[in-house]
Amino acid sequence: MTVEEDLAFGPANLGLSYEEVMRRVERSYTDLKISELKDRKPFELSGGQKQSVSIGGVYAMLPKIIVFDEPTSMLDPIGKERVFSIVKDINKQYGITIVLVEHEMSEIVKHADKVIVMNKGQVYLQGSVEEVFSQVGKLQELGLEIPQSIELSMRLKEDHYIDKVLLTPAQVIEACSGFQPKTPAAAAAPAPAVKQAAAAGDGREPMREPIIEVSHLRHSYLGDHDDLKDVNLTINKGEFVAIIGQNGAGKTTLARHIIGLLKPDAGAITVNGRAIADRSVAELSREVGYVFQNPDEQIFTDSVEDELRFGPRNLNKGSEYTDGIVEEVLQDIGLHKYREVWPKYLSKGERQRLAMGSIITMEPDVVIVDEPTTGQDWRETLWIMDLLRKLNQKGKTIIIITHNMEIVTRYCNRVLVMSQGELILDGTPKEIFTRRDKLKEAYLRPTDITYIAQNIAFMPDDIISVDEFYQVFREMVG
Amino acid sequence: MLVDYRKRDTYLHKTSPKVLLLGTLLVIVASILWTHPLYCGVMLGLLVILGKVAKFPWSQIKWFFKIIIIPVIFIMIIQAFSLDTSLLHSHYKEVILFYLLPGERLGFNLGGLLYGLAASMKIYMVVLAVAILGYTVSPSDFIQMISRLRFASRQFVFIFSTAWRFIPIIQKQIRHLLDAQKTRGMELDKGKLIERVRKLIPIVTPLLSNSLETGDQIALSMEARAFGAKTKNKFIKPMQYSLRDRLTNYLLLVALVLLIYAYTLGYGVL
């Protein structure tokens, strides 16, 4: 079954004629901009592409109410924007009521008419966006993400720069643009504080000793086009690297080559100075750990503890070592109470932690985590990312594949940007997020705080955190 | 499925599925009737040419041809030593190439060898024909074809289409679970056969639970997309049936009749 046929499934079940079904299908893939996928098979698509197709399938049915359950959790930033704009369009144009279940607060503030906050099966807060987001303390209590625009405007309000909390980046830009920098010269160059903060993460300088070297890597799944095109890169020991890019850009394909799950059509990869071509995945797993995008694809034993023991046992690490590391990791991932529990009974966040724990117990030098925070709430996201930071502080090299630009700026000291199988940018978060043209090419956009700074004439382009914005703003405006 | 369907702009892809199905049937009938390796060889050659025309992804089926090569050689050798040559009409049945045991016992018969060769070629013929069919006809066209049949109830079409959708999902789940084991230090390709099979046991439970979960999700998502809302599904894709298809269809029907008739005259028989 192709994507086109999948989109036709719902309307066809409604008993519509062939012509009407095809008219709706065409509108669906045109509006969602997935025309190029119509002849592909849904199960072959990347996670984000699948999500677009599933939205298209429901959209083609034109119901009166559509419930979206985290429709964009696996999409790249521009893809997210596009989906939200489609959702908004179908709401306004066709009068379809939209119920959106979402963790991304920054999108909610831009689009929702009414917000309902749930906690432990009950309605905790409800009202307009303004009413709900004015109760920031209560939201923080629940561990919910506070959009950067709101966080910043709260700080500005506290110091009386503005008189009320603003919700969207557009409102913050408008308010801040009304201020004048103290001197015209101040506007010309980035503030010293900005220059000093060259890297995100915890500020430690990684070693300059290569651990992974990729040269002239090429790969094609179907043989008709290259999914990876001549990728060259070196990752050093102790780096915390983010690989970002649009859905289908080749991020996971690259990662699966590094662990040996895919074999290159051309080019070579070395890990710790040794070529991996003739080494099995199992052998490589001593040095490179890989956490799958979907934890359910990775977890297969009957209990949490067994899952953690599986790797060290295969690597013949010995029972004393295994007992010790399993206990340590059970504490680290916060699942010590559930050691006997069947992993299927855990929540998604807990399963993600377990999947990571099952790799950590093998103590590889490099840990690659594919989409570590997809579908997780903000509290769980920070939990997982802090765990990775701890590993990084112990000297492990961390590579994450993500669409969440905020965690990139908070945790990573290096960013690789992929687009259509090519590595198009490589640098620190500050360097990367100023390259607006290239980011657009890769269907990416910076975080809201960077976007706000870039749209205020006197602010530097490379602001990546609320703290930094606020500090620079105060120095400039006085 | 050996080779998945791919939408391509080739002569075979543009041909009506009905015609391609008839062509496959012709190959299957030939493989049942023929015992002569020359005939099988010509048919195999024709299939290879058709595969080239359809831009068939040979690399995807290579593994299958490789793994059956040993049983195929085995069949040929067994037939050469043990075939009841009275079944053959050709003079080759008289030709003994060598004897395995002294005293002219256990002769290696050329007729038996050729018979075994034809039998092996027939395996390749059928596999290749079915693979080309699967590669050139979209599953939904198959389903549409079935739904046009008078005997095909909605339930039948549903079971057929769901099972078809399920196969790649299960294949993917197996692949992921095996990959997960490898990334956790499990050497799946090392050890004796029994050991390797034993290593697969841990994936049975998750595969079963994941499959049940997937089945449940598919049922839910089908229901959410109005499956069963209307008893009559009017979405019948117009089947393209050009003059060329019609002519090819007649040609194949004539070929099928001729093939059977020629067989009764002894053509294709060793």
Q: Using the beta-carbon criterion (under 8 Å), do A297 and B232 form an inter-chain contact?
A: no
Nearest chain B Cα distance for residue A291, angstroms: 9
Nearest chain A Cα distance for residue B120, angstroms: 30
Mean pLDDT of all residues in chain A? Answer: 88
CA-atom Rg of chain B in angstroms: 24
Q: Using the beta-carbon criterion (under 8 Å), do A297 and B176 form an inter-chain contact?
A: yes
Nearest chain A Cα distance for residue B79, angstroms: 40
Look at residue A327 in the predicted model and tell me its pLDDT.
Answer: 95
Which residues of chain A make contact with B238, given a CB cutoff of 8 A? 18
Give which of A250, A276, A272 is closest to A263, Cα–Cα: A276
Q: Using the beta-carbon criterion (under 8 Å), do B182 and A289 form an inter-chain contact?
A: no
Nearest chain B Cα distance for residue A455, angstroms: 42
Tell which wins on pLDDT, B12 or B95.
B12
Distances (CA, A) of B227 to A47, A262, B221: 24, 38, 9
Q: How confident is the model at residue A36 (pLDDT cuts 50, 70, 90)?
A: confident
Task: Identify which of A13, A15, A362 has the shortest CB distance to residue B184.
Answer: A362
In a mutagenesis test of the B interface, which of A17, A297, A329 is the best target, namely the one with the most B β-carbons within 10 Å? A297
Q: Using the beta-carbon criterion (under 8 Å), do A13 and B188 form an inter-chain contact?
A: no
Nearest chain B Cα distance for residue A289, angstroms: 7
- In the numeric block, which tokens belong to residue A5? 């046929």
Q: Using the beta-carbon criterion (under 8 Å), do A282 and B186 form an inter-chain contact?
A: yes
Measure CA A360 to chain center. 21
Cα(A79)–Cα(A244) distance, integer angstroms: 13
Q: How confident is the model at residue B81 (pLDDT cuts 50, 70, 90)?
A: confident
Look at residue B204 in the predicted model and tell me its pLDDT.
Answer: 83
Residue count of chain A = 478
Which residues of chain B make contact with A259, given a CB cutoff of 8 A? 183
Number of C-beta neighbours around residue A75 at 10 A: 25
Q: Using the beta-carbon criterion (under 8 Å), do B185 and A290 form an inter-chain contact?
A: no
Which residues of chain A make contact with B7, given a CB cutoff of 8 A? 2, 39
**What percentage of chain A exceeds 70 in pLDDT?**
94
Task: Identify which of B186, B206, B233 has the shortest CB distance to residue A12.
Answer: B233
Look at residue B218 in the predicted model and tell me its pLDDT.
Answer: 81
**Residue for token pair 């043989």:** A223
Tell which wins on pLDDT, B242 or A254.
A254
Q: Using the beta-carbon criterion (under 8 Å), do B179 and A281 form an inter-chain contact?
A: yes
Q: How many CB pairs under 8 A join A and B?
A: 126
> A306 to chain B: nearest residue by CA?
B202
Q: Which of A197-206, A440-449, A462-471, B260-269 is least confident?
A: A197-206
Cα(B37)–Cα(B268) distance, integer angstroms: 8
Give the max Cα distance, chain B: 77
Nearest chain A Cα distance for residue B205, angstroms: 7
Beta bridge partners of A243: A401, A416
Which residues of chain B make contact with A344, given a CB cutoff of 8 A? 209
Which amino acid, A97? T
A288-291 vs A210-219, strand pairing mode: unpaired
Which residues of chain A make contact with B228, given a CB cutoff of 8 A? 13
The pLDDT tens digits for A137-158 are: 899 889 898 999 999 999 999 9
Give start-end residues of each CATH 3.40.50.300 domain in chain A.
3-102, 210-447
> B154 to chain A: nearest residue by CA?
A13
Which residues of chain B make contact with A281, given a CB cutoff of 8 A? 179, 182-183
A266-271 vs A274-275, strand pairing mode: antiparallel
> A292 to chain B: nearest residue by CA?
B180
Nearest chain B Cα distance for residue A444, angstroms: 28
> B141 to chain A: nearest residue by CA?
A1
A210-219 vs A228-236, strand pairing mode: antiparallel
Cα(A339)–Cα(A341) distance, integer angstroms: 6
- In the numeric block, which tokens belong to residue B239? 């089947």
Contact B27, B126 (CB under 8 A): yes
Q: Which of A17-21, A370-374, A376-380, B193-197 is least confident?
A: B193-197
Q: Using the beta-carbon criterion (under 8 Å), do B184 and A41 form an inter-chain contact?
A: no
E strands within A4-96?
A: 65-69
Look at residue A199 in the predicted model and tell me its pLDDT.
Answer: 46
A397-401 vs A97-101, strand pairing mode: unpaired
Q: Using the beta-carbon criterion (under 8 Å), do B232 and A289 form an inter-chain contact?
A: no
Look at residue A202 in the predicted model and tell me its pLDDT.
Answer: 56
The pLDDT tens digits for A205-257 are: 666 799 999 999 999 987 778 899 999 999 999 999 999 998 888 999 999 99
Look at residue B22 in the predicted model and tell me its pLDDT.
Answer: 92
Which residues of chain B make contact with A358, given a CB cutoff of 8 A? 184
- In the numeric block, which tokens belong to residue B58? 């040979």
Cα(A293)–Cα(B263) distance, integer angstroms: 57
Kindly tell me if the per-residue pLDDT of B158 is higher than 80. Answer: no
Look at residue A188 in the predicted model and tell me its pLDDT.
Answer: 47
The pLDDT tens digits for A422-451 are: 999 999 999 999 998 899 888 888 999 999
Nearest chain B Cα distance for residue A464, angstroms: 35
Task: Identify which of A1, A13, A290 has the shortest CB distance to residue B230.
Answer: A13
Number of H helices, E strands in chain B: 11, 2
> A315 to chain B: nearest residue by CA?
B185
Look at residue A190 in the predicted model and tell me its pLDDT.
Answer: 53
- Flag whether the pTM goes above 0.90: no
Which residues of chain A make contact with B181, given a CB cutoff of 8 A? 300
In a mutagenesis test of the A interface, which of B225, B230, B232 is the best target, namely the one with the most A β-carbons within 10 Å? B225
Kindly tell me if the per-residue pLDDT of A24 is higher than 80. Answer: yes
Average pLDDT on A67-91 reads: 81
**What percentage of chain B exceeds 70 in pLDDT?**
89
Q: Which CATH number fits domain A210-447: 3.40.50.720, 3.90.79.10, 3.40.50.300, 3.40.1280.10?
A: 3.40.50.300
Q: Which of A39-43, A311-315, A348-352 is least confident?
A: A39-43
Q: Using the beta-carbon criterion (under 8 Å), do A10 and B225 form an inter-chain contact?
A: yes
The pLDDT tens digits for A381-395 are: 999 999 999 999 999
Q: Using the beta-carbon criterion (under 8 Å), do A259 and B205 form an inter-chain contact?
A: no
Q: Using the beta-carbon criterion (under 8 Å), do A11 and B235 form an inter-chain contact?
A: yes
Look at residue A338 in the predicted model and tell me its pLDDT.
Answer: 95
Which residues of chain B make contact with A366, given a CB cutoff of 8 A? none
Q: Using the beta-carbon criterion (under 8 Å), do A12 and B179 form an inter-chain contact?
A: no
Q: Which of B154-158, B200-204, B216-220 is least confident?
A: B154-158
Look at residue A197 in the predicted model and tell me its pLDDT.
Answer: 40
The pLDDT tens digits for A294-304 are: 888 888 888 99
Number of C-beta neighbours around residue A457 at 10 A: 10
Task: Identify which of A8, A41, A285 has the shortest CB distance to residue B183.
Answer: A285
Look up the ipTM and state it: 0.79
Nearest chain B Cα distance for residue A8, angstroms: 9
Beta bridge partners of A234: A213
Distance linking the first and last C-alpha atoms of chain B: 33
> A58 to chain B: nearest residue by CA?
B225
Task: Identify which of B57, B221, B232 has the shortest CB distance to residue A15.
Answer: B232
CB-side neighbour CA atoms (13 Å) of B41:
7
Measure CA B265 to chain center. 29
CATH code for residues A3-102: 3.40.50.300
Task: Identify which of A14, A15, A290 has the shortest CB distance to residue B183.
Answer: A290
Kindly tell me if the per-residue pLDDT of B159 is higher than 80. Answer: no
Nearest chain A Cα distance for residue B177, angstroms: 6
Cα(B47)–Cα(B56) distance, integer angstroms: 11
Tell which wins on pLDDT, B64 or B131.
B131
Q: Using the beta-carbon criterion (under 8 Å), do A292 and B232 form an inter-chain contact?
A: no
Burial of A424 per CB tally in 10 Å (0-12, 13-18, 19+): middle
Q: How confident is the model at residue A192 (pLDDT cuts 50, 70, 90)?
A: very low
Which residues of chain B make contact with A71, given a CB cutoff of 8 A? none
> B142 to chain A: nearest residue by CA?
A1
